[in-house]
Chain A
Amino acid sequence: MPAVSKGDGMRGLAVFISDIRNCKSKEAEIKRINKELANIRSKFKGDKALDGYSKKKYVCKLLFIFLLGHDIDFGHMEAVNLLSSNKYTEKQIGYLFISVLVNSNSELIRLINNGIKNDLSSRNPTFMCLALHCIANVGSREMAEAFAGEIPRILVAGDTMDSVKQSAALCLLRLYKTSPDLVLMGEWTSRVVHLLNDQHMGVVTAAISLITCLSQKNPDEFKTCVSLAVSRLSRIVSSASTDLQDYTYYFVPAPWLSCKLLRLLQCYPPPEDGAVKGRLVECLETILNKAQEPPKSKKVQHSNAKNAILFEAIALIIHYDSEPNLLVRACNQLGQFLQHRETNLRYLALESMCTLASSEFSHEAVKTHIETVINALKTERDVSVRQRAADLLYAMCDRSNAKQIVAEMLSYLETADYSIREEMVLKVAILAEKYAVDYSWYVDTILNLIRIAGDYVSEEVWYRVIQIVINRDDVQGYAAKTVFEALQAPACHENMVKVGGYILGEFGNLIAGDPRSSPLVQFNLLHSKFHLCSVPTRALLLSAYIKFINLFPETKSTIQEVLRSDSQIRNSDVELQQRAVEYLKLSSIASTDVLATVLEEMPPFPERESSILAKLKKKKGPGAVSSTEQEDGKREGGELNGGGERGADSTIAASNASTPSPSADLLGLRSSGPVSAAPPSAGSLLVDVFSEAGPAAPAAAVNDDGFLSSAPPSVVSEDPAPPMPQSDELLHKFVCKSNGVLFENQLLQIGVKSEYRQNLGRMYLFYGNKTSVQFVSFSTSVTYTGELQSHIHELSLNVQTKPVEPLVEGGAQVQQVINIECLTDFSDAPLLNIKFRYGGALQNLTLKLPVTVNKFFQPTEMVSHDFFQRWKQLSQPQQEAQKIFKASHGMDKEVLKGKRIMENFVCAGVIQTKAQQVGCLLRLEPNAQAQMYRLTLRSSKDTVSKRLCDLLAEQF
C-alpha cells in the first residue's frame, strides 16, 4: 500500500480500497463489498452515536463503492448530517457524496437546501464555496428555485471574496443553463458585465463564461460587454509573456481568458464603433503575427496554448466574414499547419479551412491548397484526419476543380474506411450532380460509384441518377450505352442492375440499332442477372420487361414465355407473382395502341430538392452541408433537371404559395410539395414565404358588393372587459396564419377564417358553445383602441360587423362575418368584445381581432439587382426598422447548423391601403451559431417598417 496520507488519511478507507484491489475475481469483489455494506449499515443503525470522523469514513466508503459501479441505497441521511458539521473535511465529504449521488427525494432535498442555506449565509468563504459547488454539481430545479435569487446578490456584492465570486459566477451559469426561467435578469446584470474589468484574473475568467452564455440569450442587454472585452483582450495580447505571472501559461499570457474573450465576441456582429473595431482588428493582427514568431518554448503546451488562441481568433474572423485581408491571412496560416508534424494541428487546420472555404473572400485562397489536401486524404494514418480532408475537399469544390476532386474521392473510396464510405458516396454523388456541365461525365461518375462502392450507394443516389436521366433527353442515349456496357461485367452490383433495368426499359431503344446491343441481347443481358437479385430488383426487372414488349415488339414472345414460366407466374412472392400475371395478361390482351399509352415513357420528374442532399443532411447533421453548398444549391438547383428555367438567383423569390421557389425548398423553410396548380392565394406575402405550410386554399372571391354597407355594430349595455392578458400572444399566432382557433376556454371556442385581397379583407368568426346549456344575450362588438382611436377623424381601418343571433344553443356554432377595409396603415389591432350569459352569469371577454398590417401585403416579383437598388434608395434612418433577436423556435437545425455565413432571405411586397401603397423590403439574416436573427425592414413609411418589424420578429 502506498503512503497515501495526505492531509487526512482515513486508514479504514485505505484498507478497504486495497482489499478490493486484491480481489482476484468479480465475485470476490462483490462479496467483499456486500460485507462492507452490511458493516456500514449496522454501524449507521446501531445505538451508539457515530462520531464525525467515522461517519465521514463510512460515507466515503459508500461513495467509493458507488463509483465502482454498484448501487447505493442508503447513507444519504448520514451525508446530509455531515453538511452541518463545522469540520471542513466532514462537510466536504458530505457535499461530495450529495453531488455524486443526487437523489430527487424531496424530503432530502429540503434538508440539503437547508444545509446549503446555512453555509451560504455563514460568511465563511470556504464554506460558501463548498455550498456553491454543491449547487452547481447538482443543478436541479429545486435548487434553482431555492437559490437563483440569492446567488446573483452574492456575485455582485461589494464585500464578497474573489474566490466566492468565481464560484458564484459559475454556479449561476449552471443554474441558468438548466432553468433559465428561474434566473431573472435585473439590476445585477449590468454589474456582472463590469466583472470583465475586475482586477483579479480568476474572477474575469469565471465571469466571462457566465457573460458569454447570458449574451447568447440576451444580446441586447449585454452588448456593452463588446467594448470591455476588446479592451481586455487588447491588454492581454499586448502584454509581455511574464506580465501576468501565474496567469501566464508556458509563456503564453492568459490563454484561457483570451480564448473566452474571442468566443464572447463571436456572439456579436463586428463592433460598430470605429475605435473599438480598430483596436480589435489590431489584436487579431497581433495574434496572427505571433503565430509566425519563433516559439518561446519547445514544449507542446506552449504551442497548444498559442494556437488555441489563434484558432479562436480565426473563428472570429470567419464569424465576421468582412475583413478580406484577415481571412486570407488566416487561410495562409492554416495552409502552413496542413503540413505540420503535429497531427492535432493538421486536423484542426483541415476543419477550420472547411469554414473558410465558404467565405467568398477566402474561397480562392483555400483552393490553392488542393494538392496538400488530396495528399492528406491519401496518406494520413488517422481516419479522423482523412475524414476532415474529405470534408474540406467537398467544401472547396467548385466548377473549376470538380472533376479533379470527384476523381480523387472516387479513387479514395476504393480503400476508404467502412465507417465513412456511405457519406463519401453521398458527397461524390452530390458534387457530380452539382457541377456536372456535361452529363455523360455525371452518368459515368455515378456508375463508377456503384461499381466501386455499390453496397454503400443508398437508394437516394440511384433514384437521383434516374431522375436526371429521365429529365435530360440529351444524356439518355449515352446513359443507355454506358449502363449496357457496365452490365456486361461478370459480377455487377445489384444497384447497377436496378439502374440498368430502369434505363434500358425506358431508353433501350436508343441503342437498339447496334446489333451488339439489339433488343434481344439487351433482354438476355438483363435476364441473366435476374436470378441473383433480391425481390424488389426482380420486380423492377419485370417492369422493364413489359416496357421492352412495348419498345420492341419482336421480343414479345420471348418475354411472354419468361413471364409464363412457373418460376414467375407461380412465384411464392405475391408481388412478383402478381406482376407476372398482370404483365402477361396486359401484353396478350391490350392492343399496340393501348400498350403504347400504358407503357409510355416516364414523364419528367418535378423539380425538387436533390434527394441525396436531403439524405446527407439527415445523416451527417448539417455540418456536412456547407454554406457554399446551400448557396450553390440554390443557384444551381434546378439546373440539372429543370434546365435552368427557374433561375432562382436572378429572381428574388417573393413568390406566393403556388410558385415553388427552389431556394425555399432547399432551405427547408416550407414543406411545399411539387408544383401545385392552385391560383395565387390571397394570403399575404409574408405568410406565404415564411409559414410552415403556405396556405393552400385558393383565393375565394372577396365579395365587394355591400362590403361597406353592413348593419351597425351591436349595442352592448355593460362596459367591455379590458383585453385579456394573452390577447397579444393570440394575435401573434395569427400574423402568419389566416385560419385557426383564436381562443378557447371551457365554455367557448372561437375559430377564425380570413381572406384578404389588396386593401380589403373578410373574416369569418365561428363562436362554438362547448357546453350543453344555451348562451343567452350573446353579443359581440368590435372597437378600436389606442392609436386607432386617436386618429378618429381619419380612421385607419373600417371594420363592419354583422350582428349575431343572441341565442347560442348548447353544442351549436354561430358564424359572424366581419368586413375590413384598410384605409391607412395601422399598428394596433381592433378589439373584439364578446358578452353572453351562461347559467345566469355574465361572461365578458375581450380579444384582439387578428388583423395586422401585413395581411394587406401584395407580393412583388423583382430581380435581385432591382431589389438592392431599391433597398439603397430607402436608406434614411427612419425608413428602416431592425431587430436582432433570439430564435424562439430554434432554427431549422438540419439546415442552418454549422454554417457561419448565412445568406440573407429577402422579400418584397406592397402594403395596400386605401390612402396609399407602401412598398416594403425585408431582409432576414440568420446567425445559426448564436441562434439569432437580424430582421431588417425598409419601407417608404416609418410606421410601417416599425410595425412590420415588431410583428414579424415574433414569428421566428
Chain B
Amino acid sequence: MRFMLLFSRQGKLRLQKWYTATAERDKKKMVRELMQVVLARKPKMCSFLEWRDLKIVYKRYASLYFCCAVEEQDNELITLEVIHRFVELLDKYFGSVCELDIIFNFEKAYFILDEFLMGGEIQDTSKKSVLKAIEQADLLQEVYDYF
C-alpha cells in the first residue's frame, strides 16, 4: 500500500498515512486531487478506480471516506477488507466510533493504524492481537500516571 487517507464528506482530511517517502507539497496536491475524484463519485459506483499509476480502493462509512492507494498487482477486494478491519478496530476501541472520536483522538487513531499496518503491509489481522497491544499501552499510561 502506498498511502491511506481518511476524509470527510466536506473534504476535510482526518487522517493520512504515507508508506513511501513523499514531499509535503506532493502530498497536499495528491490529497486535493484524489478527494475531488472520490467525492464526485456516486454511491452505487464501484469502489475501485485507476488514478495516476495507482489503484484506489475506497469505501464510505457514514460521513467518512477511507481511501487506500495500492499497487497495480495488489488485490482490491482484500484491500477493501483491510479498510473494514481498520474500521472495526476503531469501533471496538472507541465504542461505536464516530468522526469526532477520530478528530479528538487523532493520535490514538494513528496508534491503532500503526499496530495494524506497518510499512503498508498488514502486521496482524487478528482483532484481539491489535487491540491487546493498544490497551496494554493505555494500561501502562494509567499505571504510570498514578505514580
Contact = CB atoms under 8 A, between A and B. Distances in A.
A194 B44 CA distance: 44
Given A6-B138, A308-B81, A343-B44, A96 B125 contact: no
Q: Which secondary structure dominates chain B's binding surface?
A: helix
A7, A63, A139, A305: most-surrounded residue (chain B CB, <10 A): A7
A492 B112 CA distance: 61
Interface residues of A, number: 73
Contacts of A764: none
Contact of B122 (A178, A205, A308): A205
Contact of B106 (A21, A64, A247): A64
A247 B126 contact: yes
B142 A7 contact: yes
Contacts of A17: 103-104
Interface in A270-320: 301, 304-305, 307-308, 311-312
Contact of B137 (A4, A7, A623): A7
Interface string B90-128: 000110001011011111101100100011111111111
A249 B48 contact: no
Contact of B77 (A163, A166, A171, A348): A348
Nearest to A262: B75
B46 A347 contact: yes
A457 B7 CA distance: 39
Nearest to B100: A2
Given A133-B118, A308-B75, A67 B16 contact: yes
A462 to B, nearest CB: 28
Interface stretch (A377-385, A570-578, A938-946): A377-385
A173 B140 contact: no
A209 interface: yes
A424 to B, nearest CB: 15
Contact of B80 (A88, A304, A343): A304
A909 B56 CA distance: 48
A88 B137 contact: yes
B119 A171 contact: yes
B145 interface: yes
Contact of A2 (B21, B49, B53, B104): B104
Interface centre among A1, A8, A929 (most CB of B within 10 A): A8
A377 to B, nearest CB: 15
B63 interface: no
Interface stretch (A251-259, A709-717, A812-820): A251-259
A944 B133 CA distance: 59
B20 to A, nearest CB: 8
B81 A305 contact: yes
A206 B122 contact: yes
A247 B45 CA distance: 30
B10 interface: no
B28 A256 contact: no
Interface residues of B, number: 60
A66 to B, nearest CB: 9
A6 B123 contact: no
Interface string A56-70: 000010011001010
Contacts of B114: 133, 137
B122 A929 contact: no
B8 interface: no
A64 B102 CA distance: 12
A185 to B, nearest CB: 19
A88 B144 contact: yes
A133 B134 CA distance: 14
A307 B45 CA distance: 19
13 contacts: A4-B101, A6-B105, A7-B137, A63-B107, A89-B140, A89-B144, A202-B125, A206-B122, A249-B81, A257-B125, A263-B73, A305-B77, A384-B50
Interface of B: 13, 16, 19, 21, 28, 42, 44-50, 53, 72-73, 75-78, 80-82, 84-85, 93-94, 98, 100-101, 103-108, 110-111, 114, 118-129, 133, 136-138, 140-142, 144-145
Given A67-B13, A259-B78, 14 more contacts: A8-B141, A67-B16, A87-B140, A87-B144, A92-B137, A96-B107, A163-B133, A206-B121, A255-B78, A263-B73, A301-B84, A343-B44, A343-B45, A898-B72
5 A-B pairs with least C-beta separation? A7-B138, A174-B119, A308-B77, A202-B124, A308-B78
